[in-house]
Chains A and B, each alone.
Chain A
Amino acid sequence: MALELPENVVVSRLDELASWCRKNSLWPMPFATACCGIELMATGASKHDLARFGAEVFRFSPRQCDLMIVAGRVVMKMLPVLQRIWLQMHEPKWCISMGACASTGGIFDTYAVVQGIDRFMPVDMYVPGCPPRPEQLIQAIIDLQDKIQAEGTITGREFDTAQRQLRKRALVESADLLCVDAARNPLIQQQLSFKPPLTASRIVLPSARG
């Protein structure tokens, strides 16, 4: 028996409604460190307008944002700052790694540049390019919107799924110095005389992981 619904009544799941609201109002937190920041500004400017996708304001306060766009190379002096800003953002939050340097370190395979921020924080979208064109970044935001719509829940349960907690990079935990997770390997920790900066140790993680 079909119900006759008036025009202004929509039946949906609460999860889908919440996801629809969240995806269409992603406020970016621009973490622009280098050249990709210029392209980020260009994407927010009038020619390629990011505001038409809901990213109305680029709030520079992490307390008021839900999308962190890491644009540019992240050096190891900056990484604790990045982690602290990520922890200060409220749930639900997503992260876009914009450009080659934020995704993999780019051409800067040096002693100071972190080879990919996904080694140290969760990333949802990667945008390749050096720098990526504004259209590429817009496509990444559109894809992220699709991801939020497809997987979003009103309570944020999708962030608790165990398989999403697996680190995205396949890191071999062995005595091999070439591809190893330094923070977890006791052999490397003994050899390293450099400990992470104080701000990193002041980051209080809610769960006791590693």
Chain B
Amino acid sequence: MPHSPYSPPPLDDILEPLAAHFGTMETSVYRGDTRLVVPEQESLEVLEFLKDRGFDLLVDVTCVDYLEYRGAKHRYGLVYLLASTTTNQRLTVRVYVDDPAPSIRSAVPLWEAANWLEREVWDLFGIHFAGHPDLRRLVMPEEFVAHPLRKDYPLQGRGERHNFPILTRHDG
């Protein structure tokens, strides 16, 4: 892909030392965006390596639930979007975790932004982040018990949205 001032520069200077250090990892390129698949055991080391190589901005931490996806081998695919403010490079790191008690080490020691981003993933998907200083719900009410963005949670919810006291004119 031609490199212009408006597109991110290629990532060869990052991927080659990465492969030398951690062994070959699955990478793919789609329309100029590079994606790296990392096993869960090495996730924090790879993120630290990338941060030391200049990826100082954690853009987003999100998740995909592959429960009903044909050909899926794992249930949850965590997505870390990294960017470098100095070299304008962008990289997507994928980590797959599985169902009974999905858990991964928290990236908060590396980027402070991961604090709320991981809280949101915990709230909506139920992935536990070990080592997170304050892992509690962010967007749903604190008393909520389910993880609504999982594929087995119904869109309309299970009645929680209407479980409130009713005020009438008399209660004014």
Q: When the two chains form their complex, are residues A122 and B169 in contact, meaning their CB atoms are under 8 A apart?
A: yes
Known: A87-B172, A112-B140. A200 touches B154 (CB 8 A): no
Q: Once A and B bind, how many residue pairs between them come within 8 Å at the CB atom?
A: 119
Q: When the two chains form their complex, are residues B171 and A192 in contact, meaning their CB atoms are under 8 A apart?
A: no
A79 to B171, CA, bound (A): 16
Q: When the two chains form their complex, are residues A119 and B166 in contact, meaning their CB atoms are under 8 A apart?
A: yes
Q: When the two chains form their complex, are residues B143 and A195 in contact, meaning their CB atoms are under 8 A apart?
A: yes
Known: A76-B141, A194-B143, A197-B143. A114 touches B162 (CB 8 A): yes
Of the candidates B157, B164, B165, which one forms a contact with A111 in the assembled complex, judged by CB atoms under 8 Å apart?
Answer: B157
In the assembled complex, how far is the CB of residue B163 from the closest CB belonging to chain A, in whole angstroms? 5
A112 to B167, CA, bound (A): 20
Known: A121-B167, A193-B145. A159 touches B172 (CB 8 A): yes
Inside 8 A of B168's CB, which chain A residues have their CB? 122, 165, 167, 209
Q: When the two chains form their complex, are residues A80 and B164 in contact, meaning their CB atoms are under 8 A apart?
A: yes
Q: When the two chains form their complex, are residues A109 and B159 in contact, meaning their CB atoms are under 8 A apart?
A: no
Interface size on A, residues (CB 8 A): 46
A112 to B140, CA, bound (A): 8
Q: When the two chains form their complex, are residues A113 and B161 in contact, meaning their CB atoms are under 8 A apart?
A: yes
Of the candidates A115, A165, A197, which one forms a contact with B162 in the assembled complex, judged by CB atoms under 8 Å apart?
Answer: A115
Inside 8 A of A34's CB, which chain B residues have their CB? none
Q: When the two chains form their complex, are residues A188 and B169 in contact, meaning their CB atoms are under 8 A apart?
A: no
Known: A76-B160, A182-B162. A111 touches B171 (CB 8 A): no
Known: A109-B156, A195-B143, A197-B141. A209 touches B171 (CB 8 A): yes
Inside 8 A of A109's CB, which chain B residues have their CB? 155-156
A154 to B123, CA, bound (A): 50
Q: Tell me the nearest residue of chain B to A124, going by C-beta.
A: B169
Inside 8 A of B141's CB, which chain A residues have their CB? 76-77, 197
Question: What are 27 A-B interface contacts by the 8 Å CB criterion?
Answer: A76-B164, A77-B139, A83-B164, A83-B165, A87-B171, A111-B153, A111-B155, A111-B160, A111-B161, A114-B161, A114-B162, A119-B166, A159-B170, A160-B169, A164-B169, A183-B165, A189-B163, A194-B143, A194-B160, A196-B143, A197-B141, A197-B142, A197-B143, A206-B172, A209-B168, A209-B170, A210-B166
What residues make up the interface of A, taking CB atoms closer than 8 Å to B? Answer: 76-77, 79-80, 83, 86-87, 91, 93, 109-115, 119-122, 159-160, 164-165, 167, 177, 181-183, 188-189, 191-198, 200, 203, 205-207, 209-210
Given known contacts A110-B156, A122-B169, what 14 new A-B pairs fall within 8 Å (CB)? A83-B165, A87-B167, A113-B161, A119-B162, A120-B167, A182-B162, A183-B162, A183-B166, A194-B143, A195-B143, A196-B163, A197-B142, A209-B171, A210-B165
The 9 closest A-B pairs by CB, nearest first: A111-B157, A194-B160, A205-B171, A121-B167, A76-B161, A182-B162, A159-B169, A77-B141, A182-B163
